[in-house]
């Protein structure tokens, strides 16, 4: 983080210096529209949201600022600065725009006298780097521009700080030699000293040793577009092979593609920097050649002294080439470290993502198992509760019926005993026969009323049963409508392929809850109806009991009266004993009346016993009917549960089919989008290749012009510079070999990463298949257990 912060601070300070240097040039623009346009561009470059806050974004911003400053110094706005900036983020600067930094600045040499120096010297002195020393600047330009002095002073200070001691010693020697030769030619000595200072400032770059950049060769080699194309082709084939993976793995592949694209962009930017540095080296080498020309023109008379100076310069160049080689070795080692760090970071990120995916899959599996076990446990609990309730209700009903039968049997026995007692006491109830007949008539009327009430209660019970069946049919119709509505919702939700699994789980949970609610409602309604029927039965039983109690009370009253009558009979028997003789005729009449009364009493008791037996038989028939109805309801409930299970299993199968169809559609859409993106990328690559070819043609034309100008002067110095060129070519070949080795290492690392990804994905597939098989087995076993428990 500290290195990144230091690099950010350096880039920000460089950008601030560019802004400070821009201000006087912007104010000197003649047209107001150009000033406004420059102000808009400066405002956009100063905005961190638009220009970006990363390292590459700041470098891009500084390139824009440097290009604008260079064009303002030249006095001509070109390229992207001819129109107002766009509203979006700042685009990356193309590689061919770096050519503007290497063009000579004509605006800085307008104030000088062109008749003093030749054309090639004036072109070299008009460069944007301003490599003059303070003494030469004072001699060449007596009235310098005050706005340009801070920038040149800062640039001299920075270059001076970076000079090695060997180059400073060589520059001091060359300056002393030039001061000794001031008497021969003052202008040549000034040019030589300034060129020596420029050489000391320009030999501090780490890219020294390359003769020509890529865009100045006769046959350019477009490395970056072809590399991009090949890498994209590999990625596309790799994505086609991995098209059958899940959506999460596709997201990982897309992230890998984004990382590779970023890596390609960074490599392109490094190539752009390399091309810029190569162009600087060319300018420096051209300056050195011009310096050598000036030295040989001014020192033709003293050949011995010039030979010594050239030997010293060759020694300094050899030392500097050694320093450059060391710098290149250091940079190659740093690049290797950066590549290794990037590969390690990518591997760590992929490992983290794989671990996260594995943990998520395990968590989902654990959650599914939990939900499955909970659902099965709920079904088992519900079935056990229902069975326990049915058993308790059936046991309660059987106990009630047994109690009723026992009570009725006891009552029959009591009545039989009472009848026997009545038969014994028939002879004593002669006088109150009329009263008993009236009581029997009243009791018979009450029994008729009770029979009517029982008939009405039975009718009401039948009506309640019919209403209950109607309500059950209505609930079934509602349930079917709810199921159809849920099926429609499921068919609509199946279109959303990304959230299909979660929606299905939620729908299944809602269906289960609704089924449980409907079942609970049905059970509640059945319980209420059963409670109502039981209440009605209890009411009828209570009424019968009340009637029986009243009959018993009346019998008790009759018994009391019979006891009283017996006492009266005893008294009357005494009286009758006295009056037997007088009342024999009356006794005969009384015996006949008693015989008739016995017959009537026996008939009434037989009728009462027959009615009680009929009521008992009706009660038993009602109980048998209720048992049959409950058994039928239990069977219907079991059938309904089986039908619902079958329906939900069919729905699950249909939803699985829909999910697979949605997956296939998504795969097809993804493949189509991928093909379209590949085609667009190829079109962009072709357009960029065309643009690069046009730029290379322009560069070739410019280079040919420059070669025509310099062919006359370079012929004389080729023999002396040949040895230096051989050294430079050797260094360039070494660098190419190192870059090829780095490319081979990168390709090997990519292949390793791809193999590791394939291995991890195969493992994940195998684990997923194992988990699916285990879950299916457990689910089938749980279903069988649940069905066995329900059956």
Total domains, the chain: 1
The CB density around residue 368, as the number of other CB atoms within 10 Å, is 16
Q: How confident is the model at residue 132 (pLDDT cuts 50, 70, 90)?
A: very low
Q: Give residue-wise pLDDT tens across range 635-693.
A: 887 788 788 778 878 888 888 888 788 778 877 887 888 788 888 878 888 888 888 78
pLDDT at 340: 81
User: Which of 123-137, 650-664, 700-714, 740-754 shows the highest mean pLDDT?
Assistant: 740-754
Domain assignment present for residue 557? The answer is yes
The whole domain housing 463 covers 374-577+588-662
Domain assignment present for residue 530? The answer is yes
pLDDT at 583: 60
Return the half-sphere exposure (C-beta side, CA atoms, 13 A cut-off) of residue 631: 6
CA angle 524, 529, 530 (to 5 degrees): 95
Are the beta carbons of 316 and 170 closer than 8 angstroms?
A: yes
Return the half-sphere exposure (C-beta side, CA atoms, 13 A cut-off) of residue 528: 10
Which has the minimum average pLDDT: 331-335, 556-560, 573-577, 786-790? 573-577
pLDDT at 533: 66
pLDDT at 477: 80
Domain assignment present for residue 45? The answer is no
Measured in residues, the chain has a length of 791
Q: Mean pLDDT across the chain, nearest whole number?
A: 72
Domain assignment present for residue 200? The answer is no
Which has the minimum average pLDDT: 32-46, 91-105, 777-791? 91-105
**414/403 Cα distance (integer angstroms):** 16
- Helix, strand, coil shares of the chain, percent, nearest 5, are 85, 0, 15
The CB density around residue 676, as the number of other CB atoms within 10 Å, is 10
Domain assignment present for residue 480? The answer is yes
Alpha carbon of residue 621 to chain centroid:
67
Residues of the chain with pLDDT > 90, as a percent, come to: 0
Residue 631 has pLDDT above 80, yes or no: yes
Domain assignment present for residue 115? The answer is no
Domain assignment present for residue 86? The answer is no
pLDDT at 466: 81
Element (H, E) at 286: helix 247-298
Residue 699 has pLDDT above 60, yes or no: yes
Residue 107 has pLDDT above 70, yes or no: no
**363/472 Cα distance (integer angstroms):** 43
Which residue's entry shows tokens 């003052």? Answer: 186
Which residue's entry shows tokens 């992207």? Answer: 80
Burial 454-492 (b: 16+ CB within 10 A, else e): beeeeeebeeeeeebeeebeeeeeebeeebeebbeebee
Question: Quick one: which of 235, 501, 219, 472 has its CA closest to 368?
Answer: 501
Element (H, E) at 45: helix 32-46
Are the beta carbons of 461 and 533 closer than 8 angstroms?
A: yes
**687/314 Cα distance (integer angstroms):** 46
Q: How confident is the model at residue 378 (pLDDT cuts 50, 70, 90)?
A: confident
Residue 767 has pLDDT above 80, yes or no: yes
Are the beta carbons of 55 and 8 closer than 8 angstroms?
A: yes
End-to-end CA distance of the chain: 69
Q: Average pLDDT for residues 524-528, to the nearest whole number?
A: 76
**232/226 Cα distance (integer angstroms):** 10
Q: Average pLDDT for residues 542-562, to the nearest whole number?
A: 76
Domain assignment present for residue 754? The answer is no
pLDDT at 500: 62
Contacts for 717 with CB less than 8 Å, ≥ 6 apart? 289, 292, 293, 296
Contacts for 8 with CB less than 8 Å, ≥ 6 apart? 55, 58
Q: How confident is the model at residue 245 (pLDDT cuts 50, 70, 90)?
A: low
């Amino acid at each position: 983080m500290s290195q990144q912060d230091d690099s950010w601070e350096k880039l920000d300070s460089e950008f601030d210096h560019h802004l400070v240097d821009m201000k006087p040039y912007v104010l000197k623009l003649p047209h107001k529209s150009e000033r406004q346009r420059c102000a808009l561009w400066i405002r956009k470059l100063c905005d961190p949201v638009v220009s970006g806050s990363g390292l590459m974004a700041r470098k891009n911003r500084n390139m824009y600022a440097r290009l604008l400053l260079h064009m303002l110094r030249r006095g001509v706005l070109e390229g992207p600065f001819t129109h107002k900036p766009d509203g979006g983020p700042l685009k990356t600067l193309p590689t061919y725009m770096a050519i503007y930094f290497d063009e000579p600045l004509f605006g800085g040499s307008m104030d000088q006298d062109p008749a003093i120096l030749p054309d090639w010297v004036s072109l070299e002195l008009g460069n944007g780097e301003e490599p003059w020393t303070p003494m030469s600047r004072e001699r060449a330009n007596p009235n310098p521009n005050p706005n340009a002095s801070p920038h040149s002073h800062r640039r001299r200070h920075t270059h001076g700080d970076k000079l090695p001691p060997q180059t400073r010693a060589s520059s001091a020697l060359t300056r002393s030699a030039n001061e000794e030769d001031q008497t021969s030619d003052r202008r040549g000595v000034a040019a030589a000293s300034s060129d020596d200072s420029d050489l000391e400032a320009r030999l501090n770059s780490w890219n020294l040793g390359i003769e020509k950049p890529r865009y100045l060769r006769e046959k350019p080699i477009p490395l970056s577009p072809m590399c991009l194309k090949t890498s994209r082709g590999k990625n596309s084939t790799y994505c086609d092979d991995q098209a059958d993976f899940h959506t999460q793995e596709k997201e990982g592949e897309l992230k890998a593609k984004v990382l590779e694209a970023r890596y390609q962009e960074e490599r392109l930017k490094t190539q752009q920097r390399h091309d810029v540095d190569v162009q600087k080296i060319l300018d420096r080498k051209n300056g050195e050649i011009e310096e050598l020309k000036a030295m040989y023109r001014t020192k033709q008379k003293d050949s011995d002294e010039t030979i010594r100076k050239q030997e010293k310069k060759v020694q300094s160049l050899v030392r500097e080439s050694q320093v450059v080689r060391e710098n290149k070795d250091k940079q190659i080692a740093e690049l290797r470290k950066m590549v290794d760090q990037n590969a390690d970071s990518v591997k760590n990120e992929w490992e983290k993502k794989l671990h996260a995916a594995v943990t998520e899959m395990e968590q989902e599996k654990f959650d599914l198992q939990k939900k499955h076990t909970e659902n099965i446990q709920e079904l088992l609990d519900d079935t056990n509760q229902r069975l326990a309730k049915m058993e308790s209700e059936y046991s309660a009903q059987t106990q009630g019926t047994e109690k009723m039968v026992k009570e009725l049997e006891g009552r029959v026995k009591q009545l039989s005993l009472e009848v026997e007692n009545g038969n014994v006491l028939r002879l004593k109830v002669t006088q109150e026969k009329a009263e008993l007949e009236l009581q029997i008539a009243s009791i018979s009327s009450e029994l008729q009323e009770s029979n009517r009430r029982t008939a009405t209660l039975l009718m009401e019970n039948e009506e309640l049963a019919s209403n209950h069946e109607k309500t059950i049919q209505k609930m079934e119709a509602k349930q079917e409508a709810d199921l159809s509505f849920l099926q429609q919702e499921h068919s609509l939700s199946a279109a959303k392929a990304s959230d299909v699994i979660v929606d299905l789980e939620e729908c299944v949970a809602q269906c289960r809850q609704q089924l449980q609610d409907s079942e609970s409602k049905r059970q509640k309604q059945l319980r209420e109806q059963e409670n109502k029927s039981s209440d009605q039965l209890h009411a009828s039983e209570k009424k019968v009991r009340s009637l029986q109690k009243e009959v018993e009370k009346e019998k008790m009253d009759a018994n009391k009266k019979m006891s009283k009558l017996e006492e009266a009979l005893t008294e009357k028997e005494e009286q009758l004993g006295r009056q037997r003789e007088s009342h024999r005729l009356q006794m005969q009449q009384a015996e006949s009346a008693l015989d008739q009364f016995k017959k009537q009493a026996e008939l009434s008791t037989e009728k009462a016993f027959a009615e009680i037996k009929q009521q008992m038989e009706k009660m038993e028939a009602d109980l048998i009917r209720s048992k049959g109805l409950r058994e039928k309801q239990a069977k219907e409930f079991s059938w309904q549960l089986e039908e619902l299970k079958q329906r939900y299993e069919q729905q699950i199968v249909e939803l699985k089919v829909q999910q697979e169809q949605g997956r296939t559609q998504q795969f097809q859409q993804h493949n189509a989008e991928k093909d379209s993106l590949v085609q667009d990328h190829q079109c962009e690559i072709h357009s960029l290749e065309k643009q690069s070819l046009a730029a290379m043609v322009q560069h070739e034309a410019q280079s040919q012009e420059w070669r025509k100008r310099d062919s006359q002067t370079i012929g004389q110095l080729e023999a002396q510079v040949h040895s230096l060129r051989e050294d430079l070519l050797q260094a360039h070949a070494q660098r190419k070999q190192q870059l090829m080795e780095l490319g081979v290492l990168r390709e090997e690392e990519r292949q390793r990463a791809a193999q590791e990804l394939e291995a991890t994905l195969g493992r994940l597939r195998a684990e997923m298949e194992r988990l699916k098989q285990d879950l299916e087995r457990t689910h089938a076993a749980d279903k069988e257990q649940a069905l066995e428990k329900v059956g």
